[in-house]
Amino acid sequence: LLIIDSHAHCGVGDRYPPQSFEDYYSAVKGSPISGVAVFAPVMEIYDRYDPFFKDSPTWQQRRKTANDYVLSLSDREIDVFPYFFIWNDFAADQLTHRHYGIKWHRHDDEPTYNYDDPACAAAMAAIVKRNLPIVLEEEFSNTERFIDELASDATVIIPHLGMLNGGFRRIAAAGLWGKPNVWADTALASSVEIMEYIRCYGHRRLLFGSDFPFGHPVSELEKVLRLNIDESIKEDICGNNLMRLYARIRHADIETFQNKE
């Protein structure tokens, strides 16, 4: 049984709570979790408490340090799949062939992404070219615009079954869950909503995730393993679906891109 956590934050810049890779590993050691998709903590990417946040070289450097840390986590006790946390400078030139996904994150009271910046469309094209999945946490109106317009050719994973993207039902009512390129993760979602998702949309685009350090990977896994569903469905949610997604990433194109630099 292959069990991969598709949603964890790791970094050494934000220590509240402690969330280094070592902290993650000590939480899962001895459990059947054998791999993890990792992205930087939000606090290392932008100042979420300043709605008038203006980007600066200091923050760009901070982001690079945070993203580089994630990328440095190879050859560990468990498999690490690094994601690139993208922000307002849309620094898609920092994508490498070692990335497995993109983290895109904002809450409704936080500084905004400049969706109308041409650099946003260019970054999206770079992401789509590599077929990297995007873990998108955004307020509802931007989630809808993102999926319908900006990222209509991208694979989008809505975390927490939509809890922080407007809610499970609002996303269902907008018809987003049914789209073939929209996936979901189980991090901190209720068992009731997970079961409803499976009943309505099947289990093929659903991923086990923990949202470490906000969720405990082992208890989040136990929540999925306790569901009253076939073992084969659990196996798909816990690892097979994610591997199917990763198999579609076009690493070769990224290699070419890197070589051109």
For residues 135 and 102, the answer to whether their CB atoms sit within 8 Å is yes
Q: Give the nearest distance from C-beta 230 to Zn ion in angstroms.
A: 28
Selected range binding Zn ion among 43-51, 66-74, 113-121, 206-214, rule: CB under 5 A? 206-214
Nearer to Zn ion (CB atom), residue 8 or residue 254: 8
Does position 5 bind Zn ion by CB under 5 A?
no
Cα–Cα distance list, 156 to 21, 65, 127, 183 (Å): 25, 25, 11, 6
Q: Which two tokens stand for residue 255?
A: 């290699």
Q: Which is nearer to Zn ion, 25 or 104 (CB)?
A: 104
CB 141 within 8 A of CB 174: no
Q: Which two tokens stand for residue 156?
A: 């989008």
> How near is the Cβ of 210 to Zn ion at its closest, in Å?
9
Q: Which of 226, 228, 224 is nearest to 207 (CA)?
A: 224
Q: Minimal distance in Å, beta carbon 66 to Zn ion? A: 14
Closest CB to Zn ion among residues 11, 254: 11
Closest approach, Cβ 18 to Zn ion, in A, equals 16
The interface region with Zn ion, picked from 62-70, 175-183, 207-215, 241-249 by CB under 5 A, is 207-215
Q: Tell me whether residue 160 or residue 254 sits nearer to Zn ion (CB atom).
A: 160
Considering only residues 208 to 237 of the shown chain, the ones binding Zn ion according to CB under 5 A are 211
Residue pair 88/113 in contact (Cβ under 8 Å)? The answer is: yes
Total residues binding Zn ion (CB under 5 A): 1
Distance of closest approach, residue 211 Cβ to Zn ion, in angstroms: 4
Question: What separation, in Å, do the N-terminal and C-terminal C-alpha atoms of the chain show?
Answer: 40
Stretch that binds Zn ion, among 45-53, 117-125, 203-211, 241-249 (CB under 5 A): 203-211
Residue whose CB is nearest to Zn ion in the complex, by number: 211
Segments in the chain forming alpha helices (H): 21-28, 57-71, 118-130, 140-145, 168-173, 191-201, 217-225, 231-235, 241-247, 251-260
Q: Which is nearer to Zn ion, 185 or 254 (CB)?
A: 185
- Beta-carbon count within 10 A of 52 CB: 6
Find residue 79's DSSP bridge partners: 35
CB of 211 or CB of 254, closer to Zn ion: 211
Measured from the CB of residue 136, what is the shortest distance to Zn ion in angstroms?
Answer: 11
Please report, as ranges, the residues that interact with Zn ion according to CB under 5 A.
Answer: 211
